[in-house]
């Protein structure tokens, strides 16, 4: 009996390896499409990606998979199989159940649709032409609404989509924590707007050649412990990190020659994602667990680095001179304190990925409310430009001039990612909560950054979070690391303390 | 009945699309591995490629494939199926039969053997130690001899292997044309060696920065009609062209800062391959016919551009000033005529891939004679170093100092590629034959190059060759285009005329 189980277990691992292999091939092709694949081959490439994705879909919903779930899920044999097998099986079962409920043809059409929609979106965004993208988005929303019905849901329909990215988090939880955040952030943003102590920021916008920004980005990646033998840095319209396997975790960034912050803080953000994936335990390679456990935990790692490292005073105490070396002289007469205040400027703005850390959660809330509205049939795609602009005016007091800097700014919807945006805000709250715990172990956090020993911070995160991949669920990690559930208070305290100090508020 | 056939035909096309999709994914990953994938991910990536390759093998030898061959190959229904289906089926049947006739276990052992042999070969080559490689090569030859028996053959045993790369070409044909070539080239090479009119070549080796070579290469690609919206140029250790689909045909090159010819003529060569694949008819996308029809015809396109365009006087009349613009002054005092003579220098050398166009066919003949001898049991692996060196002395008048620059120089045999080498020389003869016919339609060939209207030449080739992909067999194309079978005379005439002129021989 035991030997037979071992055999099935091995077959299951071989089967997962195949699924992961297809996934890796798809990952390479996506990366390639975005970093420089010739445009005329894109349509055919989308077909290939569609074909492989539908193979993954078939493998994850096959009778063979059903047999693995039945055999290895049997309670009597749990003592004989490894933890990795158990957790992998759990993941596979979840996918199996989600996928079995969608008709195979419909899923294939959807994959082809979203892969085409991404290039249409890019074009539409450049031309600030929502009408170009609208028919694609309408179809994508329709598919998602249909999928929610196929899957079934508890409470709000949107809960079903949230669960894909952040198991355990619901509309009820989000309404509560977003309410708490909004209650404290909106008045703080208003106080800052009224404050006379605004930082000088003109020097941030002096010309900074792309090539030098790239070199500085590479130097910072090195400093943060990004492993270049297991990754590379490229340029894309929308920055991302992609973990093909722990030995190949690539990041991309975007350069704005008149605002170096886009590239540098974007790179640090993606580096946080990459450090997570580069440091997953090698035991998990070839299994479905070799991945971040949720979007929110993933985002907690990227935001941890972007905000708590990249926007930290001690970090710049160390790296300001390095920046000056690569820059074109614009910082030479600027004191470190003034530089620090400038990069921590808070000002309502239109573009999410360029938003400062204080106003950022408001950008997320707007997207959250729109997604919830679309999925529940309370909003229509054609009205989005108007809705979007109105909400920006309401929450942030500013209005986009065109849809390229408005509703078309993010790639997510073109890829069908609904329920994803809240992860960014969740990740931010998780990160603040991790930081609070980390300070108990590493009270010298700031000194570590100042002396270039950031690796100690990375190791703390690897030991508690990275190495597990998807072996633990997000709220399980949060509890194991911090000893409590989701608590928005740590983020609120951090923002209050920091921005009152930066803006010298009462 | 007709409707049922249509349905099977559609299923067959869908099935091929899957095979081609896997092939395209593998192609992207190979390209990626060679152009800059992070080193730590390479082992896992090889596993992924292996996994997908074995899927392709399974698909091409499956019962499903056997059923397609039986159903669609039925004589009674030939009138109902499209030409594309017929030719695709023929290709699939050929692969099916080749793969099915070898016992699965033996094939697996062979794959393991060749994959080990490749790394042993690399080591042996670096150490110039043939004894290291000998036992592997012996086994590889034994397997190939056995495979030939499994497959069956007509006439010479080596015909079976030639047919894999160049269907229709036999030992009888090659003995004839290689005999004709040898008879004229060997004396010509000797006359050149004795000639006092050697070109001055020192300026070819002046420092030429990589970035400028790249810019010049891009300018030349543009001039030759390479479509950058359907391709890109990258750098690799070994240059190649890869047609992922007609909308994405990438080329790579290698830069030697002390010999710009490596990059520029290499780029033009790969451009010839790429123009073939970029211009295959879109009707063939997704079928097994969307590919060059044979190694020889492929090579005819790359050599056409490398030799008849890239080494042409009128081409340089137009482009010499462009070269000067990108270069670092080394050509400023060199007259066009002297430059032309220099890049057309001919000199016996030991390394095939560095050989000039006149001596190149001799390198191929040596390999051909050895392969034929091995497969027919007339030579033994242990004697190869001696045989190799003797033949180099006989044909080229020079003798390798060690096996690293002799019998161990090429990778082909370690991978089991026997029958491939002749394609290089065949491509050269095809190219000369195409050129002869082209001159009847485009007697102003030289003027077209001089006035930058090379696109007319590309269009001529597309109309007669490129568009067909693998719809026509190599000798069918040759006949349709030139009105005759393989004729070595055109290449001989070209070489005689050109080299007598360049070296001012009587």
d(CA A257, CA A207) in angstroms, rounded, equals: 6
According to DSSP, residue B430 is labeled H
d(CA B151, CA B101) in angstroms, rounded, equals: 6
Mean pLDDT score of chain B: 96
Q: Over 80: is that where the pLDDT of A344 sits?
A: yes
Distance from CA of A281 to the nearest CA of B (A): 14
d(CA A455, CA A448) in angstroms, rounded, equals: 9
Per the CB < 8 Å rule, is B51 touching A231?
no
d(CA B315, CA B505) in angstroms, rounded, equals: 24
Q: Over 90: is that where the pLDDT of A108 sits?
A: no
Q: Are strands A233-235 and A248-253 parallel, antiparallel or unpaired?
A: parallel
Residue B234 inside a domain? The answer is no
Burial of B1 (0-12, 13-18, 19+ CB in 10 A): exposed
Residue at token pair 């030697």: B256
Which residue does chain B place closest to A248, by CA atoms?
B41
Q: Which residues of A are catalytic?
A: 270
For residues B405-424, average pLDDT? 96
Residues of B in contact with A25 (CB under 8 A): 25-26, 28-29, 48, 52
Task: Quote the pLDDT of residue A184.
Answer: 93
Per the CB < 8 Å rule, is A40 touching B244?
no
Task: Tell whether B36 lies on the interface with A, counting CB pairs under 8 A.
Answer: yes
Per the CB < 8 Å rule, is B38 touching A245?
no
The model's confidence at residue B299, banded by pLDDT at 50, 70 and 90, is very high
Q: Put the strands of the sheet holding A233-235 in their side by side order.
A: A233-235, A248-253, A241-245
d(CA B329, CA B203) in angstroms, rounded, equals: 10
Per the CB < 8 Å rule, is A28 touching B28?
yes
Residue A158 inside a domain? The answer is no
User: Do A226 and A315 lie in a common domain?
Assistant: yes
Which residue does chain B place closest to A21, by CA atoms?
B48
Best of A33, A105, A232, A247 to disrupt the B interface by mutation (most B CBs within 10 Å)? A247
User: Do A92 and A237 lie in a common domain?
Assistant: no
Domain count, chain A: 2
Task: Tell whether A44 lies on the interface with B, counting CB pairs under 8 A.
Answer: yes
- Please say whether the beta carbons of A228 and B39 come within 8 A: no
Best of A28, A232, A282, A290 to disrupt the B interface by mutation (most B CBs within 10 Å)? A28
The model's confidence at residue A104, banded by pLDDT at 50, 70 and 90, is confident
Q: Put the strands of the sheet holding B241-245 in their side by side order.
A: B233-235, B248-253, B241-245
Q: Which of B9, B166, B223, B270 is catalytic?
A: B270
**Residues β-bridged to residue B234:** B252
pLDDT in tens, B58-115: 999 999 999 999 999 998 888 899 999 999 999 999 999 999 999 988 988 998 899 8
According to DSSP, residue A309 is labeled I
User: Do A175 and A82 lie in a common domain?
Assistant: no
Task: Tell whether A211 lies on the interface with B, counting CB pairs under 8 A.
Answer: no
- Please say whether the beta carbons of B227 and B278 come within 8 A: yes
| Domain region containing B31 | 2-101
Residues of A in contact with B36 (CB under 8 A): 232
**Percent of chain B scored above 90 by pLDDT?**
93
**Which phi and psi (to 5°) does residue B243 adopt?**
-95, 100
Residue A157 inside a domain? The answer is no
Per the CB < 8 Å rule, is B51 touching A230?
no
**Percent of chain A scored above 70 by pLDDT?**
100
Per the CB < 8 Å rule, is A41 touching B285?
no
User: Do A250 and A372 lie in a common domain?
Assistant: yes
Considering CB atoms only, which of A25, A227, A246 is closest to B52? A25
Residue A143 inside a domain? The answer is no
CA-based nearest residue to B23, from B59, B47, B65? B59
Per the CB < 8 Å rule, is B38 touching A285?
no
Specify the higher pLDDT residue, A1 or B182: B182
pLDDT in tens, A393-452: 989 989 999 999 999 999 999 999 999 999 999 999 999 999 999 999 999 999 999 999
Per the CB < 8 Å rule, is A25 touching B228?
no
- Please say whether the beta carbons of A327 and A199 come within 8 A: no
According to DSSP, residue B419 is labeled S
pLDDT in tens, B27-71: 999 999 999 999 999 989 989 998 999 999 999 999 999 999 999
Task: Tell whether B244 lies on the interface with A, counting CB pairs under 8 A.
Answer: yes
The model's confidence at residue B278, banded by pLDDT at 50, 70 and 90, is very high
pLDDT in tens, B461-503: 999 999 999 999 999 999 999 999 999 999 999 999 999 999 9
The model's confidence at residue B505, banded by pLDDT at 50, 70 and 90, is confident
d(CA B467, CA B285) in angstroms, rounded, equals: 11
Residue A130 inside a domain? The answer is no
The model's confidence at residue A149, banded by pLDDT at 50, 70 and 90, is very high
Query: Which of A 394-423 lie inside 8 A of B, CB atoms?
Result: none
pLDDT in tens, A78-94: 889 999 999 999 999 99
**Which phi and psi (to 5°) does residue A40 adopt?**
-70, -15
User: Do A480 and A359 lie in a common domain?
Assistant: yes
Residue B106 inside a domain? The answer is no
For residues B336-351, average pLDDT? 96
Task: Quote the pLDDT of residue B439.
Answer: 98
Query: Which of B 160-199 lie inside 8 A of A, CB atoms?
Result: none
**Which phi and psi (to 5°) does residue B203 adopt?**
-65, -20
Considering CB atoms only, which of A26, A40, A232 is closest to B248? A40
Residues of B in contact with A22 (CB under 8 A): 52
Q: Over 90: is that where the pLDDT of B238 sits?
A: no
Task: Quote the pLDDT of residue B354.
Answer: 87
d(CA B427, CA A160) in angstroms, rounded, equals: 60
For residues B323-348, average pLDDT? 96
User: Do A96 and A175 lie in a common domain?
Assistant: no
CA-based nearest residue to B84, from B139, B169, B13? B13
Distance from CA of B246 to the nearest CA of A (A): 7
Per the CB < 8 Å rule, is B232 touching A18?
no
Token pair in block for residue A109: 């059409």
Count other C-beta atoms under 10 Å from residue B217's C-beta. Answer: 23
Mean pLDDT score of chain A: 95
Last residue of a domain, one of A42, A66, A100: A100
The model's confidence at residue A1, banded by pLDDT at 50, 70 and 90, is confident
**Percent of chain A scored above 90 by pLDDT?**
91
Q: How many CB pairs under 8 A join A and B?
A: 114
CA-based nearest residue to B144, from B175, B104, B106? B106
Q: Over 80: is that where the pLDDT of B1 sits?
A: no
Q: Are strands A248-253 and A241-245 parallel, antiparallel or unpaired?
A: antiparallel
The beta-carbon contacts of B11-15 under 8 Å, at least 24 apart in sequence, are B11/B68, B12/B68, B12/B72, B12/B85, B12/B88, B12/B89, B13/B85, B13/B88, B13/B286, B13/B287, B15/B59, B15/B64, B15/B65, B15/B68
Task: Quote the pLDDT of residue A354.
Answer: 81
Residue A484 inside a domain? The answer is yes
The model's confidence at residue A115, banded by pLDDT at 50, 70 and 90, is confident
pLDDT in tens, A267-292: 999 999 999 999 999 999 999 999 99
Last residue of a domain, one of A56, A73, A100: A100
Residue A128 inside a domain? The answer is no
CA-based nearest residue to A482, from A493, A494, A474, A471? A474
User: Do A70 and A176 lie in a common domain?
Assistant: no
Task: Quote the pLDDT of residue A505.
Answer: 86
Residue at token pair 């919807």: A413
Per the CB < 8 Å rule, is A25 touching B24?
no
Q: Over 90: is that where the pLDDT of B268 sits?
A: yes
Residues of B in contact with A32 (CB under 8 A): 28, 32
Which residue does chain B place closest to A39, by CA atoms?
B229
Last residue of a domain, one of A39, A70, A100: A100
Task: Quote the pLDDT of residue B179.
Answer: 97
Per the CB < 8 Å rule, is A36 touching B232?
yes
């Amino acid at each position: 009996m035991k030997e037979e189980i071992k055999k099935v277990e091995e077959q299951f691992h071989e089967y997962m390896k195949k699924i992961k292999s297809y996934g890796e091939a798809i990952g390479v092709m996506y990366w390639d499409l975005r970093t420089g694949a010739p445009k005329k081959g894109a349509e055919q490439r989308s077909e290939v990606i569609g074909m492989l994705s539908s193979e993954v879909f078939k493998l994850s919903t096959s009778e063979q998979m059903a047999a693995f779930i039945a055999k290895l899920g049997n309670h009597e044999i749990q003592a004989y199989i490894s933890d990795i097998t158990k957790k992998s099986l759990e993941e596979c079962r979840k996918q199996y159940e989600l996928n079995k409920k969608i008709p195979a043809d419909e899923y294939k059409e959807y994959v082809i649709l979203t892969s085409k929609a991404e290039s249409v979106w890019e074009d539409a965004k450049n031309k600030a032409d929502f009408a170009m993208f609208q028919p694609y988005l309408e179809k994508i929303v329709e598919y998602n609404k249909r999928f929610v019905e196929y899957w079934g849901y508890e409470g709000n329909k949107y809960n079903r989509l949230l669960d894909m990215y952040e198991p355990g988090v619901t509309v009820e939880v989000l309404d509560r924590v977003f309410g708490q955040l909004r209650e404290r952030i909106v008045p703080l943003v208003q106080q800052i707007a009224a404050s006379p102590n605004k930082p000088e920021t003109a020097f941030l916008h002096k010309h900074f050649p792309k090539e030098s920004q790239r070199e500085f980005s590479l130097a910072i990646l090195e400093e943060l412990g990004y492993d270049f033998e297991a990754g590379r840095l490229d340029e894309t319209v929308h920055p991302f990190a992609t973990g093909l396997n722990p030995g190949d975790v690539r990041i991309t960034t975007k350069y704005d020659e008149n605002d170096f912050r886009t590239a540098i803080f974007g790179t640090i953000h993606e580096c946080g994602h990459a450090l997570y994936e580069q440091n997953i335990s090698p035991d998990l390679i070839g299994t479905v667990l070799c991945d971040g456990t949720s979007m929110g935990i993933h985002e907690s790692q990227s935001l941890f680095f972007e905000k708590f490292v990249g926007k930290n005073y001690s970090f710049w105490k160390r790296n300001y001179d390095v920046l000056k070396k690569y820059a074109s002289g614009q910082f030479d007469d600027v004191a470190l304190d003034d530089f620090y205040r400038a990069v921590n400027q808070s000002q309502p703005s239109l573009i999410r990925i360029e938003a400062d850390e204080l106003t950022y959660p408001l950008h997320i809330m707007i997207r959250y409310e729109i997604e919830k509205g679309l999925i529940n049939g309370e909003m229509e795609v054609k009205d989005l430009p108007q809705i979007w602009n109105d909400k920006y005016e309401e929450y942030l007091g500013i209005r986009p001039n065109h849809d390229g800097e408005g509703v078309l700014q993010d790639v997510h919807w073109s890829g069908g990612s609904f329920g994803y945006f809240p992860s960014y805000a969740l990740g931010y709250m998780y990160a603040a909560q991790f930081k609070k715990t980390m300070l108990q172990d590493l009270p010298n956090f700031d000194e570590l950054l100042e002396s270039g020993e950031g690796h100690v911070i990375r190791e703390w995160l690897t030991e508690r979070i990275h190495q597990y991949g998807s072996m633990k669920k997000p709220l399980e990690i949060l509890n194991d690391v911090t000893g409590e559930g989701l608590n928005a208070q740590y983020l609120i305290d951090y923002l209050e303390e920091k921005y009152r100090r930066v803006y010298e508020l009462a």
